[in-house]
Amino acid sequence: MKNKFHWYDGLFYDKMIAPNQDGTFAIMREMMKPNSSVIDIGTGTGRFVFQATNKFRKIVGVDLSSRNINFANSQLEKSNFKNISFLHANATEIKSHFPEKFDYSTISYVIHEMPYEMRLTVLKAMSEISNTIIIGDYFAPQPKNKRGISNRIAEFLAGTDHFNNYRNFTKHNGIYGLVETLGMLIVQEKIGVHGTSHIVRINKKID
């Protein structure tokens, strides 16, 4: 399995980047029923998982960065949470790790940094291990306000490949484009504060 590293993974991500996603995380949690089972793809340092632990009976966070997973596990060891766990794994192969099906699979601010074909593959894999998918990511295109401009700058600073994938994500109409291509159905959606985030609950209709 390929290990993926960003220069900002680990402590920097947890303290400087992840907190900016709290508004999106809150909306995602509201879209899910209490006492459900959840698998969070691209969990990073596990911020969404830790915030959701009191609402759900089981949560698994998965990430391709061992640095992120190691940080998440170090935080877990300091807690008393018994219903969460973390796994270093590739999202495209996640079905092999879990024979059971989750009520929900979630993914936030990860899809936009993937190459086009990988986006499709990951969403298909999520549809195989869960009954419902929740996606939180950038609204495409970003509004021309202060927050939208700062988001584009952040994507540019994340590196050439990352920025090119973000531009491709926008070119293909963001989450709307993914849902249409895969034949999925949006059953609930919300645009976040400043008009920069897009959160959807989708049902799969993949052949």
Write the pLDDT tens digit of every residue in 73-84.
Answer: 999 999 989 999
Is residue 134 in some structural domain? yes
Looking at the structure of the chain, the number of domains it has is 1
Average confidence (pLDDT) over 48-63 = 95
Identify whether the C-beta of residue 136 lies closer than 8 Å to the C-beta of residue 198: yes
Query: What per-residue string of b and e applies to 74-96 under the rule 16 or more CB within 10 Å gives b?
Result: ebbeeeeeeebbbbbbbbeebee
First to last CA, the chain: 28
Token code pair at residue 123: 């969403």
Query: Over 50: is that where the pLDDT of 45 sits?
Result: yes
Query: Are the C-beta atoms of residues 15 and 47 closer than 8 Å to each other?
Result: no
Q: Where is pLDDT greater, at 176 or 205?
A: 176
Across all residues in the chain, what is the average pLDDT? 89
**Tokens standing for residue 175:** 């989450």
pLDDT greater at residue 22 or residue 169: 169
Token pair belonging to 48: 């969404």
Q: pTM score, two decimals? A: 0.89
Confidence at residue 158, expressed as pLDDT on a 0 to 100 scale: 84
The CATH number given to whatever domain includes residue 196 is 3.40.50.150
Q: Which domain holds residue 186?
A: 11-203
Top pLDDT among 142 and 8 is at 142
Mode of pairing for the β-strands spanning 185-191 and 58-63: unpaired
Decide if 6 is inside a domain.
Answer: no
Tell whether the model's pLDDT for residue 91 goes beyond 70.
Answer: yes
Enclosing H/E stretch for 117: helix 116-129
Q: Percent of the chain scored above 70 by pLDDT? A: 89
Residue 207 confidence (pLDDT): 46
For residue 139, which amino acid is it? Answer: F
What's the pLDDT score for residue 67? 85
Task: Say what the pLDDT of residue 159 is.
Answer: 87
Give the three-state DSSP class for 42.
Answer: coil
pLDDT band at 153, cuts 50/70/90?
A: very high
R_g of the chain, CA atoms, integer Å: 16
Q: State the CB neighbour count (10 A cutoff) for residue 61.
A: 28
Identify the residue with better confidence: 128 or 204.
128
Out of 16-25, 166-175, 177-186, least confident range: 16-25
In a domain, 61, yes or no: yes
- pLDDT at residue 115 in the model: 95
Within a domain: 72? yes
Is residue 2 included in any domain, yes or no?
Answer: no
Q: Is residue 3 part of a domain?
A: no
Rounded to an integer, what distance in angstroms lies between the CA atom of residue 16 and that of residue 57? 29
Distances (CA, A) of 109 to 72, 149, 151, 152, 175: 17, 16, 11, 13, 11
